[in-house]
Amino acid sequence: MHGIRRTGLTGFAAAILVLGVISASAAVRADDRSPTVVELFTSQGCSSCPPADEYLGELARRDGLIALSFHVDYWDYIGWKDTFALPQSTARQRRHGKSFNARYVYTPEMVIDGIVDVVGSRIDDVERTIAEARRSTRNLLPVALVASTRDRATIGIGAGSGMSSADVWLIEFDAERTVDVLRGENSGRRLTYHNVVRNIRQVGRWRGDVMEIPVDLAPMREAGRDGCVVIVQKEGGGPVFGAARLHLASGE
């Protein structure tokens, strides 16, 4: 990985970032949680997905949640190519499936904090699963994503003991997009999607120490992205240790 700096951090901005991570650590201990990550795996070609897509929009507005819509490409063969589908989204879903020892993946699937999945259109089941995840103690690692200038940000990750090494994922998203589907199972429907994932990349590997990773926001702004999310997740897939979000419009 490129551009990764571990302890010690240099410069005034880095010192401020570390102080922020330390403060975040205290906040996490007080609440026993950092944001709960909800990942919806969906497709424009899936007739059972629109209720889950609509529900994700509600989840995306809630405090304490990071809700993302990952469009997969394996339904493209049935007559409509999903305009947001990414092979990386499909690969991420399959990685979740492997960690769950699942025989198959499906849509609409919601994965909560990398530890459990539920049918995304079954609202009562999703609400119960989110509540159970928020009562757990898995998601405890302090993570910050802070913009220092319009085009520069830094990922800050605190120290953690007793945790395995973790992959650091940077995920770019569009806040809301509407699509007229012309063919396939949803032919003739106008569908609105929320927090649509447009790019996924691994930007580092955390091994237990405080670290920072610089992020260039300029390409995201040029592409019209609305924000980005960092997810620190067990190496190879599994529990999410911590996550943070940055809205590009406000820089917060």
Report the distance separating Cα 217 and Cα 215, nearest Å. 6
122-133 pLDDT, tens digit each: 999 999 999 998
Q: Give the residue with greater pLDDT, 20 vs 133.
A: 133
Q: Which of 203-207, 220-224, 245-249 has the lowest mean pLDDT?
A: 245-249
Look at 152 and 12; give whichever has higher pLDDT: 152
SS3 of residue 138 by DSSP: coil
Cβ neighbour number for residue 202 with a 10 Å cutoff? 12
Hey, where are the domains in the chain? Answer: 5-247
**Mean pLDDT, all residues of the chain:** 88
Q: Residue 238: which residues within 8 A CB-CB, separation 6 or more?
A: 99, 114, 115
The percent of residues above 70 in pLDDT, for the chain, comes to 85
pLDDT band for position 11 (50/70/90)? very low
Name the β-bridge partners of 247: 227
- pLDDT, tens digit, for every residue of 72-83? 999 999 999 999
85-114: b (≥16 Cβ within 10 Å) or e: bbebbbebbbbbbebbeeeebbbbbbbbbb
- Predicted local confidence at residue 135, as pLDDT: 83
pLDDT for 16 equals 52
214-231 pLDDT tens trace = 999 999 999 999 999 999
* Distance separating alpha carbons of residues 122 and 3, to the nearest angstrom: 42
pLDDT of residue 134: 85
What confidence score (pLDDT) does residue 12 get?
43
**Does residue 9 register a pLDDT over 50?**
no
Q: Does domain 5-247 have CATH number 3.40.50.300?
A: no
What pLDDT, on the 0 to 100 scale, is given for residue 29? 42
- Structure confidence at residue 163 as a pLDDT band (50, 70, 90): confident
Given a cut of 90, whether residue 104 has pLDDT beyond it is yes
Secondary structure E strands in the chain:
5-6, 36-42, 65-71, 109-112, 116-119, 143-147, 152-157, 166-180, 190-206, 211-216, 227-234, 240-247
Residue 115: band (very low, low, confident or very high) from pLDDT cuts 50, 70, 90: very high
pLDDT tens for residues 46-64?
Answer: 999 999 999 999 999 999 9
